[in-house]
């Protein structure tokens, strides 16, 4: 069922904006976010003369509380709350994202560089005959926070865009509606049908030629709020980073490591051993399906613990490979996986074979991994109940994220510790 049809000419993108000839549109990534921010900022500054003025009046007038802007000194929010929240985020997945660098720059560095080198000059030229229009970093922050928290990737022509009506729905994992659009349109003119830019003309659908649709994917309860989804796999860390909120319960929560963190200063032959593993991924789905300590993760290697504290099969394989190298034993990784599942189902028996020693080494390594991450996190258990979440909302959000990550690590640590105790692996 169609809930609403949104005309394509209502969409605000770089290509549909007043500065389409001056702003370079990027298809995806942070550059797309920055270029749309500039387009939106200029439309906001135009006031009633912008053809999106009515829509823009519906947007929040304050900066949306996304963590990247908690780091700025001229951010117009309570300084104590912001600084306290950042302190609690130390060691979390959120901080990891904030500190991540591409070509030596964090995302905040990229934002500042874009503002000074691109946005400010274009703004000043566009409004050179409007002395009352003043470019400010605060105004750019405001537009950036709106793009971060409300924009959609709609198609190959518009790319990342502000979509009226669609951005009015809140997020839920049990969403009632979703935005439906045909991504593969002409990137030059946006046509869904055959156009002069086509190398290989083919019939096109006219159903979505002039509009996007919000479509129901489940029954909407009477007098209840209608929810959209901003992404079916987003963790609370990702929701906080992009949208400034978290869910009470989120099955997508996880704690992540990259291969460099795991390798540390280990010798090069360890890396060669890891890269030499060549076993079809579907093998692990079959052999680990009964495990309560390991979850199968399809696709490229992901080293994580899920919301239940189960390690990814990639993380298990890494430590299995490492244990085999350290113990100087030649054991099949598949045999290790099978034996692990068997050990999980046994209680009170001693296991002393070679494979069992490998499993004991794996368990010790995973427990140590949990401990190393836990010591980097604060512990808000004794403070969160006494905190005034109305007065310190950002601190409260940060504490909840810390508690979620600590819970994952503790669950994982407890599971592997119990395996060692109950199975008496030596």
Quote the pLDDT of residue 355: 92
CB 192 within 8 A of CB 209: yes
Quote the pLDDT of residue 384: 94
Quote the pLDDT of residue 202: 47
Quote the pLDDT of residue 215: 85
> Which residue ranges does the chain devote to CATH 3.90.1410.10?
2-243
Quote the pLDDT of residue 2: 81
What distance, in Å, lies between the first and last C-alpha atoms of the chain? 60
State pTM to two decimals: 0.87
Quote the pLDDT of residue 20: 94
Question: Tens digits of per-residue pLDDT, 224-237?
Answer: 788 887 778 899 99
Instruction: Pick 2-243's CATH classification: 3.90.1410.10, 3.40.50.10210, 3.30.470.20, 3.30.499.10.
Output: 3.90.1410.10
Pairing type for strands 255-257 and 2-7 reads unpaired
Name the residue among 42, 120, 99, 109 with its Cα closest to residue 376: 99
Question: Tens digits of per-residue pLDDT, 338-375?
Answer: 999 998 887 656 666 899 999 999 999 999 999 999 99
Q: Which residues of the chain have pLDDT under 50?
A: 202-208
Q: Any idea which residue has 């105004």 for tokens?
A: 139
Name the residue among 268, 270, 269 with its Cα closest to residue 365: 270
Quote the pLDDT of residue 421: 83
CA 294 to each of CA 40, 129, 365, 404: distance values in angstroms, whole numbers, following the listed order: 45, 63, 14, 19
């Amino acid at each position: 069922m169609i809930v609403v049809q949104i005309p394509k000419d209502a969409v605000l993108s770089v290509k549909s904006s007043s500065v389409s000839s001056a702003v370079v549109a990027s298809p995806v990534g942070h550059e797309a976010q920055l270029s749309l921010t500039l387009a939106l900022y200029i439309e906001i500054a135009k006031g009633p003369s912008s053809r999106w003025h009515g829509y823009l009046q519906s947007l929040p007038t304050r900066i949306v509380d996304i963590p990247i802007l908690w780091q700025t000194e001229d951010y117009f929010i309570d300084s104590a709350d912001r600084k306290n929240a950042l302190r609690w985020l130390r060691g979390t997945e959120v901080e990891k994202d904030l500190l991540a660098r591409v070509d030596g720059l964090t995302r905040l560095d990229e934002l500042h560089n874009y503002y000074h080198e691109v946005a400010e000059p274009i703004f000043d030229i566009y409004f050179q005959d409007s002395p009352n229009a003043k470019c400010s970093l605060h105004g750019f922050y405001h537009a950036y926070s709106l793009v971060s928290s409300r924009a959609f990737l709609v198609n190959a022509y518009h790319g990342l865009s502000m979509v009226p009506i669609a951005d009015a729905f809140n997020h839920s994992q049990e969403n009632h509606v979703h935005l439906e659009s045909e991504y593969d349109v002409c990137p030059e003119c946006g046509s869904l049908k055959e156009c002069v830019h086509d190398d290989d003309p083919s019939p096109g659908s006219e159903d979505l030629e002039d509009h996007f649709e919000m479509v129901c994917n489940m029954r909407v309860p009477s007098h209840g709020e209608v929810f959209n989804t901003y992404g079916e796999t987003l963790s609370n860390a990702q929701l906080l980073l992009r949208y400034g909120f978290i869910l009470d319960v989120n099955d997508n929560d996880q704690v992540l490591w990259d291969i460099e963190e795991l390798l540390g200063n280990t010798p090069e032959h360890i890396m060669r051993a890891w890269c030499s593993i060549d076993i079809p991924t579907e093998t692990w789905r079959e052999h680990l399906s009964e495990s309560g300590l390991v979850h199968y993760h399809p696709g490229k290697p992901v080293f994580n613990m899920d919301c239940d504290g189960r390690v990814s099969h990639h993380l298990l394989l890494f430590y299995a490979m490492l244990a085999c190298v350290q113990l100087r034993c030649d054991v099949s990784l598949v045999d290790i996986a099978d034996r692990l599942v068997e050990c999980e189902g046994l209680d009170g028996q001693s296991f002393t074979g070679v494979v069992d020693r490998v499993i004991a080494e794996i368990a010790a390594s995973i427990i140590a991994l949990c401990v190393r991450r836990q010591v980097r996190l604060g512990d808000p258990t004794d403070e969160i109940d006494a905190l005034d979440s109305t007065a310190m909302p950002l601190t409260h959000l940060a504490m909840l994220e810390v508690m979620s990550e600590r819970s994952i690590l503790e669950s994982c640590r407890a599971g592997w510790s119990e395996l060692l105790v109950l199975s008496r692996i030596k």
